[in-house]
Structure 1
Amino acid sequence: MQGLPIRSLTGLAAIALLVLTGCGTQTRPAPQGTSAAGADRTIRAQHVMQLTKVHPETGMTLLEGPTFDADGKLLVVDVTAPAGEPKLLRVDLRRKTSRQVHTDDRGAYTSAQFSPHDGRVYLTDFSHGDIVSLAPDGSDVRTFFSGEVDGARMNPDDLAFDRDGNLYISDSRGMSEGAATGRVVRIDRDGGGAVVLADGMAAPNGISFDSEYRGLWVSELVENRVSYLLLDGKGRAASRHTGIRVNGGVAQTDSIAVDADGNLYQALHGRPAMAVYDRNGRRLATVEVPARAAEGLRSATNVAIVPGGTRAYMTVSGPDGGFLYSFEALAEGVRQSNGG
């Protein structure tokens, strides 16, 4: 999610009033629609469909958290959808249609992802600090986690699952003040054992495991950097350092996805584009929407790459509404590039 003033729905997802995100050794051909080969080439994304319009009640729409279900349908959250409007949608990409999966009168959901443990969809409620789960069809809604972690409620933005189904959450508390009080929180797959793995972070937003599950990439929106949190193999932090400094200009670091080669897709709030890096921090490409369309768009919040394929679907939003754009990723999609 993103960084708008909290009183108007922060980009990291607060709805009005806070009710308101191993590089391969083989040479790959440049994805279709790219410029000449070389570092930081441009990948042109293609319009797929419009999903939402600006909501009069909240003054905006903000798509986030794209993730594929077992049937190949794409689930997407609309962070700023008011009560009664679809807050979780299922998209049929072939037919270019969508339908409501879930709505309520409370949540401001900033990410969605399927658990490898129980197959349920997990949503982060940024404004209330809760983690909600539901069956893939939208039924059986449960509050998975609510309450304080180490004495403070979360503003959970994005999440990542380890192989066993334990949750790793970017907690963007302090984001509206620009204070470095954000955290990375781990919660056991049964909802217990909530612990802080890292603190003192500047509005952590995107979070994703690397391709080997050795550590976590975490984007810090206020500082435009991506930190790397090395884990000890037991779900605890061993070390932390700045892995990538993002030259975003007017844009800030939003959500993160990681493909099978370990490349990072860093979404940008403030510009409808994504920056792509290899695991060593080298900028490989910039994904952009067509210039004319970009005039009415403000952010590319996240991306999902088809599992086992290279077609990527990017959520893009702005005054013109909420859209899906597609492009060819640099490598195949895996769990780390499918939700969160």
Structure 2
Amino acid sequence: MSQRTKQPAAIWRGMAALGMIGALVGCSGLDTGSTSPDTDSTTAGPSQRAERTAEKVVQVSEVHPETGMTLIEGPTFGPDGGLFVVDVTAPPGDPKVLKVDVDGQTVEGIYTNETSAFTSAQFSPQDGRLYLTDFVGGKIESITAEGTDPKTFFSGDVEGTSTKLDDLAFDEAGHLFVSDTTGHDGPASEVQGRIVRIDKDTAQPTVLARDLPAPNGISFTEDFKALWVSQYSENRIDYLGLSEDKTRVETSHPGVQVNGGKSQIDSNAVDESGNIYQAFHGQPSIYVYSPQGELLSTVSVPADDAEGLTSATNVAIKPGTSEAYMTVSGPDGGFVYSFEALGTGIRQSNGG
């Protein structure tokens, strides 16, 4: 989940009702009115950017009485073309992983369990299984595309500290790169977030970056040489240049400063041209930035829909196409909306 929708304390108040957690990620006290991020010196001015309106595809979920909300996250296309999503706040017994037929506009629940709050999903290039980050359990689980054979791939502390695993990205070899939002719901002075690499064969974790302000979204650049990391608590997207073997961060700097107003940045994705698709918690919009930090486009739901939708937490572009789909949630329920991407979808566009 990236803390986006998954992160809100409101979500976690709902989860607390299930005895799971007090606050997932920092949405507590957040006014969820639609607020468009302003532009600054790193972005194009409002007159230069292209504003797009997304089209509703299908409703995926309704607000759960047990948790008082629903939060759809982690869109990723499977090998058969189905769009898989997770419902972060689904209670036990309700589907926590769902498969959406975007053409037929149908939804099928394929997996649930008793305790997990899944915040992201992505298919591994190594074994073809669907990997899910469990924010409250501090683990990574995998299932088949049919929702069967659940396995725990990783669990436990990292360097002696518990984790709040949010978003996930795979490199070409199948190693996992995960945002750990530890410290997200603590005092602003306690900056404890991390980026963790988990070996595909041994599940051994290695901390690549630490003392980060609640990292949420994580995507490889189009050439797999670096990571774009969305820092939820500071509304900036950092650029982390990696070593050739991707076991170290060699350079890092703030790449895009985002003026989000009352909204905060959530998950992200990257297209073939290197453009960054940044999702938001606090408004049902996606902002598209060039690799140089220029704001190229904004994508929002229709005005008539916006009142009952408070977040667009994640986005996936179908590989080989410009068909983009964003997960949108709020008091009206959880939805998938579509729009035309600026560039072609690749692995870095598909899940996390």
| CA displacement 1:184-213 (0-9 Å, x = unmatched) | 000000243211000110110000000000
Alignment of 1:254-273 (within 5 A): 254-273=266-285
How do residues 144-163 of structure 1 correspond to structure 2 at under 5 angstroms? Answer: 144-163=153-172
Gap change, CA 1:288 and 1:205, over 3 Å in 2: same
Please report the RMSD computed on the Cα atoms of aligned residues, expressed in angstroms: 1.9
User: In structure 2, what is the Cα distance between the partners aligned to 1:109 and 1:191?
Assistant: 22
SS in 2 for 1:280: coil
Query: What is the CA distance between 1:250 and its match in structure 2?
Result: 1.1
Matches within 5 A, 1:230-309: 230-235=241-246, 236-309=248-321
CA distance in 2, matches of 1:40, 1:73: 31
Conserved 8 A contact 2:4-2:313: no
Runs of at least 5 residues in structure 1 that lack an aligned partner in the other structure: 22-36
Matches within 5 A, 1:53-202: 53-177=62-186, 178=188, 179-202=190-213
Measure the CA separation in 1 of the matches of 2:242 and 2:116: 31
Task: Quote the residue 1:214 is aligned against.
Answer: 225
SS at match of 1:197: strand
Task: Give, in angstroms, the shift of residue 15 of structure 1.
Answer: 6.1
User: Is this contact kept in 2: 1:41–1:285, CA < 8 A?
Assistant: yes
**Residue 333 (structure 1) aligns with:** 345
| Partners of 1:339 and 1:205 in 2: CA distance | 13
Aligned to 2:39: none
Report the alpha carbon displacement of residue 10 of structure 1 after superposing the two structures with TM. Answer: 4.5
Structure 2 unmatched runs, 5+: 26-45
Equivalent position SS for 1:336: helix
In the other structure, the counterpart of 1:25 is none
Q: Which residue in 2 is equivalent to 1:27?
A: none
Query: In 1, Cα distance between the equivalents of 2:74 and 2:202?
Result: 21
Is the Cα–Cα contact under 8 Å of residues 153 and 203 in structure 2 kept in the other structure? Answer: no
TM-score by length of 2: 0.88
The amino acid of 1:214's aligned partner reads K
CA contact (8 A) 1:316 1:324 kept: yes
1:24 maps to which residue? none
Tell me whether 1:310 sits opposite 2:319 in the alignment.
Answer: no
Percent identity over the alignment is 53
Equivalenced residue count is 324
2:11 corresponds, among 9, 12, 17, to 9
Query: How far does residue 18 in structure 1 lie from its aligned partner after superposition?
Result: 4.6
Per the alignment, do residues 59 and 294 of structure 1 end up closer, same or farther by CA in structure 2, a change over 3 Å counting?
same
Q: Distance in 1 between matches of 2:174 and 2:16?
A: 29
Q: Does the 8 Å contact 1:86/1:101 carry over to 2?
A: yes
SS at match of 1:9: helix
Q: Secondary structure at the match of 2:252?
A: strand
Tell me the residue number matched to 2:333: 321
Deviations along 1:85-110, one digit per CA (max 9) or x if unpaired, are 00000111121111111100010000
Kindly indicate whether the alpha-carbon contact (under 8 Å) linking 1:259 and 1:333 is maintained by their aligned counterparts in 2: yes
